[in-house]
Amino acid sequence: MKLNLVPARTGMTWVKLGVQTFFNQPLALTGLFFMFLAVFTVAGFVPVLGLLVALALVPAASLGLMAATDEASKGRFPMPAVLISAFRAGQAQRKSMLILGGLYAVLFIAMALVTVVIDGGGFAKMYLLGGAMNKETVSAPGFQSAALVFLVMYAPFAMAFWHAPALVHWHGVGPGKSVFFSFIACWRNLGAMVVFCLTWMAVMMGALMFVLLLTGAIGGQELVGIVMVPTTLLLASMFFVSMFFSFKDSFVADDESTAKPVESDGVAS
């Protein structure tokens, strides 16, 4: 396995490929994304333990969506069983994915708990336990500072787990090394990652603004409320689909690197 360095403009390509692949299998990928959300919704009904289980399943569930995208990109219809691909790849990889999930859950909760010293736990309670987000909560002393600190911590956390599930599943990398290699890959391809995120922000804002204006003109505020939620979910599912292409371009198997040309700025082990 080798790290592939790509130009910053590749971030836009990832978005384009994600959208195209989604519309190749829109019903299947939308359905799988809703199943993905349903798992976390159901788990969230169980106090405390449900949160831990939901967080621990994030890497495996994300891998499931990436595996579904891989199927769709090859012209195949992804079946629901693809969502549990992480647990069907053999005992060693299943164990590694469970460890990765546990690491994800522990670090995520730890980051949220760090903010307790800033606002007394208001942000952590809302984010972890699903507290109501209203004007009083947001305007509470220290809440915005706590949210900012969490966001700063979340950036390297997201980089560390961005490619990790795929590295465990497709390259057999251990959980610790997968987190390390994922962070390095995101850092070395930071330009492409930034362009990817900014492009998605522009796409989402543009699409939501268009839907807002169109539905507002046709049916008023009631129609806006009905249409905006599914539109947001569809855009979110496209985002998850496009994540697969960021992984596919960032890592190359040793045999693949010699079998076909890869557009890159350089290759590092």
pLDDT digits 0-9 by tens, 124-165? 888 777 666 666 667 777 888 888 999 999 999 999 999 999
Helix (H) or strand (E) holding 227: helix 190-250
C-alpha to C-alpha distance for 52 and 129, rounded to whole angstroms: 11
Mean pLDDT of the chain: 86
Q: Give the strands of the sheet with 2-5, arranged side by side.
A: 251-252, 2-5, 266-268
Residue 65 · residue 240 · CB < 8 Å: yes
C-alpha distances in angstroms, 206 versus 209, 218, 223, 233?
5, 18, 18, 15
Maximum alpha-carbon separation in the chain: 59
C-alpha to C-alpha distance for 41 and 234, rounded to whole angstroms: 17
Residue 227 confidence class, pLDDT cut points 50, 70, 90 = confident
C-alpha distances in angstroms, 183 versus 180, 200, 234, 239?
5, 20, 28, 19
Residue 213 confidence class, pLDDT cut points 50, 70, 90 = confident
Core vs surface per residue 139-151: b (16+ CB within 10 A) or e:
eeebbeebbebbe
Amino acid 133: pLDDT: 66
C-alpha to C-alpha distance for 167 and 63, rounded to whole angstroms: 10
Q: Examine the pLDDT at 198 and tell me if it is beyond 70.
A: yes
SS3 of residue 266 by DSSP = strand
| No. of helices (H) and no. of strands (E), the chain | 12, 3
What mean pLDDT do residues 195-219 have? 87
Q: 204 is written with which tokens?
A: 């989402």
41: Cα separation from own chain's centroid? 16
CB atoms within 10 A of CB 181: 21
Helix (H) or strand (E) holding 241: helix 190-250
Q: Examine the pLDDT at 230 and tell me if it is beyond 90.
A: no
Q: 90 is written with which tokens?
A: 């053999």
Using a 10 angstrom Cβ sphere, with 0-12 exposed, 13-18 middle and 19 or more buried, the burial of residue 245 is buried
Amino acid 219: pLDDT: 65
Helix (H) or strand (E) holding 52: helix 49-73
Q: 5 is written with which tokens?
A: 């360095």
Q: Examine the pLDDT at 260 and tell me if it is beyond 60.
A: no
β-strand partners of 5: 266
Output the CA torsion 258→21→14→194 (10° steps): -150
Residue 226 confidence class, pLDDT cut points 50, 70, 90 = confident
Q: What is the pLDDT of residues 157-195, one digit of tens each?
A: 999 999 999 999 999 999 999 999 999 999 999 999 999
